[in-house]
Amino acid sequence: MMIPAIDLIDGQVVRLYQGDYQQKTNYEYTAKERQDLYASTGATVMHFVDLDGAKDSNRRQLSLLKTLVNHPSMIIQVGGGVRCKEDVQQLLDLGANRIVIGSLAIKQPELIREWIVEFGGEKIVLALDVKIDTNGNKTLPTHGWIKDSGVNLENLLDDYIAAGLIHVLCTDISKDGTLQGSNVQLYRELCQQYPTIKWQASGGIGSLDDIKALLPTGVDGVILGRSLLEGKFTLEQAIACWPKTENNRATAGESSC
């Protein structure tokens, strides 16, 4: 499925280049306007990131988020600065369907596994940003992709799966914001190795061909941010590229792209 994504700073729709707050693009339309457009086009899941909350949980944009998360036809997942159980509960109480956990999933995996058990696997999405070295090792940097956590992706996932993990949003940080295509090989490997996880591919989508390239990998969803905001293609066109199949292992030949 196609998952439109919107990042929010001070109530405005923005995009950061590779997570850098100093490389920010502002867009004129409001988050609600885009959400309504995406919903009318057929999106059933949407992804919001509160970048103010990511910097300071006391600055979380709760009033704005409340207008976005209670949607009659969309599953809404929200991330940005979730640092404690109270943050999770606050966003769920606000109306969010899924809570996206980033750096904390790497730094305190025992705690996040407890949340998965308590709230259920459907309520938690791990957002794992991957850096791939020259030897093919998939490491997970933190602190704005600057600090090496020393944690390997595969080692982290095994214990999470045992706790009931369902959703992982995975970004190859070298692709984020580039519109140069995603890391197809990465998602193919992860889907084969961890077939019980519903993978969300994120980063690099700039054309319909980039979406089509992900069809055989087995990912459950594709995050679309800058490409939709800048009109590289429409959401309707993107949805048409993604045939509905039971196991999401569609082949490129089945696409109308």
Question: Active-site residues: which are they?
Answer: 7, 129
| Non-local CB neighbours of 124 within 8 Å, separated by 6+ positions | 88, 98, 99, 101, 112, 115, 116, 165, 166, 167
- For residues 46 and 38, the answer to whether their CB atoms sit within 8 Å is yes
Could you tell me the CA-to-CA distances from 99 to 63, 92, 175 in Å, in that order?
Answer: 17, 7, 24
Residue 247: name the closest of 219, 209, 208 by CA.
219
As a whole number of angstroms, the distance between CA 180 and CA 249 comes to 23
**What residues contact residue 74 under an 8 Å CB cut-off, 6+ apart?**
35, 38, 39, 43, 44, 45, 46
